[in-house]
Structure 1
Amino acid sequence: MSHISVLLHETIDALLADRHTGIYVDATFGRGGHSRLLLSKLDANSQVYAFDKDPQALAVAAELAQQDPRFHIIHASFADITQELNARGITEVDGIMADLGVSSPQLDQAERGFSFMKAGPLDMRMDNSQGQTASEWLMEIEEEQLANVIFQYGEERYSRRIARAIKNAGLMTTTAELAEVVKVAHPKWEKNKHAATRTFQAIRIAINKELEDVEHFLPQSVDLLKTDGRLAVISFHSLEDRLIKQFIQKESSLAEDNGWGMPQQQEDTRRLKKISRVKASEQEVKDNPRSRSAWLRVAARLSH
């Protein structure tokens, strides 16, 4: 399956809010669908800075940078957004978008090791030029810690049984081996889902530090936004969406009272205003089943 950008027009429309000029950030370039549409709607004086860790995504982005001088690609995690932009003389931007999680090309290429659907090396690194593979990580991690990862990041109720089976299996070098070990250990899995779905998700999130990166990225994004600048984030599973929802809620709410029934006498610290929460349409889900679980949350920066 080729990569189809999820909630494409909804994201760009929300990000721009009828503007056509400025400095924008695509925190997760992927294959560039969102960046390309964004560039098509911006004037000649605008700039788009994109981030990605995946060497294959970077190759696509390098071609776009040659075609369009307004576009710049940065080989880094969006967790380092402030540092990387500051190094390029950028201290504030008009909008930031992020499309979280693993991309379709990463899932579809067996050699990347993300999917239990295709036999491939047990890798799972978004940046496969550095860091531990999933195979190496599984050999090092303790059973109890692995069980906690599978429970927390995969929301897998049989995490302890699965972790024990994985550790007892010893060295595994392919996705097929891991998928089979999990399948045998799993007593009951959801209809229309593979037994290893939640375990693969958990391991991928852990070795790529996906949730930690989101936690670092969100407050920095608010710091970087100009007044009325937009933050638009797409998530695909409940763990990510919960982080984004709670962050926007916290940044858009007044401090609670002091417990005595009297409001605290302090300045208004709200930095964001909630704009919208959007789900993929029935037609989009029909055209691209991977959009089924996607949520787009949008917020605007209040005055500094």
Structure 2
Amino acid sequence: MSEWHVFSGSGEQREWVLPEPPPWRRFTGGPLVEPPGADWWEHRPADLERALAYQPTAREVELVNVAIYLRRPLLITGRPGTGKSTLAYAIAHELGLGPVLRWPITSRSSLQEALYRYDAIGRLQDVNLSGEPTVSADGIGRYLQLGPLGTALLPYGKPRVLLVDEIDKSDIDLPNDLLNVFEEGEFTIPELARHSTPEVTVRIDPKGTARVTGGTVRCRAFPIVILTSNGERDFPPAFLRRCVRLELGQPDSDRLAKIVEAHLGPDLRASASDVIDAFLARRDGGELATDQLLNAVFLTQFTPDASRRELVEVVLRHLSDEG
């Protein structure tokens, strides 16, 4: 680990200090919001397994630290199954930053849903039932829930990790829509801004709350934003200029063996060389994901040696195969 690195990629948690940002990336949100408790991993064992098993390269570690120092999103491009999204869990675990805030992207995803959701119908129904003509600003907070991006922009003392997964599947305008939020580190909730109440409590996922001052959510520590892309489209130059970019290649045999050991232990790694060789040979002829290899190796402990070849044929099918 280099002395200047915040994230080492070792998976070992330790005390660390957030470095000072560039002058143009300083944010002044407040008052500070309490981070999630350290025991959250107990409730998300699958996330913990992903975090501990990830095997980052020196290049990946370097660029994660560049993004942390510059307070810029990290755009990771690579084929499916190369570990793009898993890196976010490794960062969150090692640095003790709470659960990953995940925003899975589809063609219908919008900036609004990632910032907050407002239940206007629920509010209207409650007003009608209560007989009161209006609901106070603090009462409106019951109908507002911050989304993953909105939660990431709360004024935490240390950054939260936000995973924007498969952004290349978004509507063509979404990357540009994100530019202003990423630049300013804040957003306004109009439903609150029009009221005079200085602070309003809103809901955050899964069951927490946070206070919003003046109708504006403003970060203190810019979140560690991991954007993943399968390389299915190009992004606008203005968007790329504001990102640190990392291209993930296909793991070689040595790294695949380390991945198998990290997930399944040294015994299965020692017996999996033939499955790894078969995976590499088949990968040259079509697209395969690393989790297919893990599935095949896992199954070998339950099947006789005579069935291993047939098993590999079944599990290691190219992703483009039909039927």
Q: Do Structure 1 and Structure 2 share a fold, with TM-score over 0.5?
A: no
Given the two structures, how large is their TM-score scaled by the length of structure 1? 0.25
Higher RCO, Cα 8 Å, sep 6+: 2
Given the two structures, how large is their TM-score scaled by the length of structure 2? 0.24
